[in-house]
Amino acid sequence: MNRSPGYRPLTKVLHWSVVVAFAAQFSLGYALDASESGRGRGRGRGGEPGRGRGRGSGYEPFGEDALLTAHVLVGALIVVLGVARLLWRRRTDLPPWAPTLTRFERRLAHRTEVALYALTFVVPVTGVLLLASDDDDLLWVHVAAQVCFLAALACHVGLVLKHQFVDRDRLLRRML
């Protein structure tokens, strides 16, 4: 059983707040993509309703599309939470490594956490760039950032689940 100390309460609140915000953000983003209205995401090329944002669509992030407005606001919240986490992290020491983590797992955990911290800012910034450019050709940048985020998240969660269910060392308790 892992008896090493856990994280501080504010660290846990900030961590799980970011998790909930990203879950909401991805849900909103996918709901927007599935929307057939064409509003908020702009018009397709040639002025017809369509997916994606064509050039010159006059996109308004705080326009008539409530999903789009919510997506923009949650993105801003993610940035604020990310800044709060970084400031708190700089002021607070982490608990010692769980003794059951191997050297490789420690490196993997550190690298995925750094990637997740960075992508907490990169994903929203690429969304803002997409909005500001009003150009479908930049959609790949935002999608690539999301894919990188999901890959890092899969490594992070996979390591925790391995320790929780295979090693049964209750590693997850440190963040609950």
53, with CB counted inside 10 A (0-12, 13-18, 19+), is buried
Cα distance from N-terminal residue to C-terminal residue, the chain: 16
Q: What is the pLDDT of residue 75?
A: 94
Q: Pick the residue with more confidence: 93 or 171?
A: 93
% of the chain exceeding 90 in pLDDT = 55
With contact defined as beta carbons under 8 Å apart, do 53 and 42 qualify?
A: yes
The predicted pLDDT at position 21 comes to 97
pLDDT, mean over the chain: 84
Q: Among residues 37, 42, 36, 41, which one has the least CA distance to residue 68?
A: 41
pLDDT at 119 over 60: yes
Average pLDDT of the residues in 156-161: 94
- Calculate the CA dihedral of residues 148, 151, 11, 109 and round it to 10 degrees: -110
Average pLDDT over residues 49-58: 46
Asked if 108 contacts 155 with a C-beta cutoff of 8 angstroms, the reply is: yes
Measured CA to CA, the distance from residue 14 to residue 88 in angstroms comes to 9
Asked if the model's pLDDT at residue 17 lies above 70, the reply is yes
d(CA 123, CA 75): 9
- Quick one: angle between helices 139-161 and 103-133, nearest 10? 160
Residue 48 has pLDDT above 80, yes or no: no
